[in-house]
Amino acid sequence: MIIAVVSDFHFGYNADAFPQAREAMVDARSRADVILAPGDLFDVRVPRQETLHEAAIAFQDAKGAGSGTRQRILESDDVSFERTDNPVIAIYGTHERRAKGLSNVIEFFHTAGLLVNAHARKIFVEKRVGADIERVCVQAMGGVPEEMAAQALKLMDFKPVEGAFNVFMFHQSVRELIPQDESAMAMADLPDGFDLYINGHIHWRQELRQGGKHLIIPGSTVVTQMKLPEANPKGYYLFDTARKSLQFVEITSRPFFFRELQFKDASAQQVLSQAEAVLAEIAGKNNSQPPQVKLKLTGTLAKGLSSQAVDTTALEAKYADKLKLALDKELGSLELKEKIEFLRRMRTEKKSAGEVAAEILKHKLKEKEITSEEMPKAAVEELFELLSEGEVDAALERVLKA
């Protein structure tokens, strides 16, 4: 059987998310017997109705992969049902996860019949080949907070089944791939004995073989993190269970360029003219559509110059039609830089002030080698009180002083 793995659509993130995810799924539908989607299909926990509608169109168009293939969905050991329209088999990631008792968007699409939510279910994908039936069994765990992943996997006690090609799907950071994420689970924490492990979460494609486990991550179908590795082509994976071969299929996506310029004691004019040269070079390429550009300006300015002296307004206006430009000026004072970063992340990651502040606080404490247990309880409570009252600025002051 041919398994397609398409991930991290981030529906609702921007105008590229829907067409790029749809293209990936529709293309996969024509080449594969089943489509698996390991999480972060939506960008926020409670998407707008326009986003839900677009997603419904894409999931509807993605149905019907693999002719003569059917899905048998085991709700429990004795409750199962069958589907012959072969919808995408998905899980929720970190972006869709909600507290217990609240409705989850992936389960909503499962109930509506547009997806199969594989979390804590067993899905058999069966295909008749001559007199035989080929069988793929998909088991999965939806995204959990990183520090809980290893424990959750242990508790759920996943086991491969006999007579099938066994796939395990999840949505977590993996320590071997993201070493700086110390709370991440390791390859050894994954349940043993599956033929293929499929992960989302990381936005650029990866393949890893370790301890007898074969892990593949297709990356996102849209650029959301504006980091250097996201400049790699976007697409999805096809895995052939008979040949054990893996192929990456590129999709049409908005080009993305990441550039960083470093300055030392520069004048405003030097910064602006070098920035302009970079933008002119990118705009001069034969781009299929206006590229997304992340331009980082870092380093120091000549004495007495503040970052406000570097006025990029005219430059941004000049390239507004040709480029989707995100300019990062990190030439200012440290505290201001952190404030801007905080606001940017609140906006782009659609996180609440509380979530971002909690992350920064954790980071700051770690820098000072203080564990959160050692942090005076009163200080933490005061911080959350401020945040709950919407006093973001006051809370930020506290976090930056911590």
Which residues sit at the interface with Mn ion, rule CB under 5 A?
A: 8, 40
Residue type, 157: D
Considering the complex, state which of residue 33 and residue 40 has its C-beta at the smaller distance from Mn ion. Answer: 40
Structure tokens at 183: 């709370």
Rounded (5°) CA angle 149-173-183: 60
Q: Which residue has the tokens 């936005």?
A: 203
Considering the complex, state which of residue 8 and residue 96 has its C-beta at the smaller distance from Mn ion. Answer: 8
Structure tokens at 247: 């192929």
Q: Is 398 helix (H, G, I), strand (E, B) or coil?
A: helix
Considering the complex, state which of residue 8 and residue 23 has its C-beta at the smaller distance from Mn ion. Answer: 8
Considering the complex, state which of residue 233 and residue 290 has its C-beta at the smaller distance from Mn ion. Answer: 233
In angstroms, the CA 64 to CA 113 distance is 13
Q: Is 140 helix (H, G, I), strand (E, B) or coil?
A: strand
Closest approach, Cβ 303 to Mn ion, in A, equals: 42
State how far the alpha carbon of 39 is from the alpha carbons of 172, 218, 354, 383, 398, in Å.
9, 11, 24, 32, 35
Considering the complex, state which of residue 171 and residue 329 has its C-beta at the smaller distance from Mn ion. Answer: 171
Considering the complex, state which of residue 8 and residue 54 has its C-beta at the smaller distance from Mn ion. Answer: 8
Closest approach, Cβ 202 to Mn ion, in A, equals: 8
Closest by CA to 4, choosing from 252, 220, 249, 223, is 249
Closest approach, Cβ 203 to Mn ion, in A, equals: 6
Closest approach, Cβ 112 to Mn ion, in A, equals: 23
In angstroms, the CA 310 to CA 185 distance is 43
Considering the complex, state which of residue 202 and residue 297 has its C-beta at the smaller distance from Mn ion. Answer: 202
Q: Output the residue with the shortest Cβ distance to Mn ion.
A: 40
Considering the complex, state which of residue 117 and residue 199 has its C-beta at the smaller distance from Mn ion. Answer: 199
CA–chain centroid gap for 348, Å, is 13
Structure tokens at 274: 């070098």
Considering the complex, state which of residue 40 and residue 126 has its C-beta at the smaller distance from Mn ion. Answer: 40
In angstroms, the CA 182 to CA 178 distance is 8
Closest approach, Cβ 354 to Mn ion, in A, equals: 20
Q: Give yes or no for a contact between 301 and 271, defined as CB atoms under 8 angstroms apart.
A: yes
DSSP class of 183: T
Closest by CA to 272, choosing from 239, 299, 311, 308, is 311
Closest approach, Cβ 171 to Mn ion, in A, equals: 8
Closest approach, Cβ 216 to Mn ion, in A, equals: 16
Closest approach, Cβ 181 to Mn ion, in A, equals: 14
Considering the complex, state which of residue 16 and residue 40 has its C-beta at the smaller distance from Mn ion. Answer: 40
Half-sphere exposure of 56 (CA within 13 A, CB side): 13
Closest approach, Cβ 220 to Mn ion, in A, equals: 6
DSSP 278-336: HHHHHHTS--SSPPEEEEEEEEEESTT--GGGS--HHHHHHTTTT-EEEEEEE-S-HHH
Q: Which residue has the tokens 């320590």?
A: 175
DSSP 207-269: EEEETTEEEEE--BSS--S--GGGGSPPEEEEEETTTTEEEEEE-----EEEEEEEEEEE-HH
Q: Is 23 helix (H, G, I), strand (E, B) or coil?
A: helix
Closest approach, Cβ 201 to Mn ion, in A, equals: 6
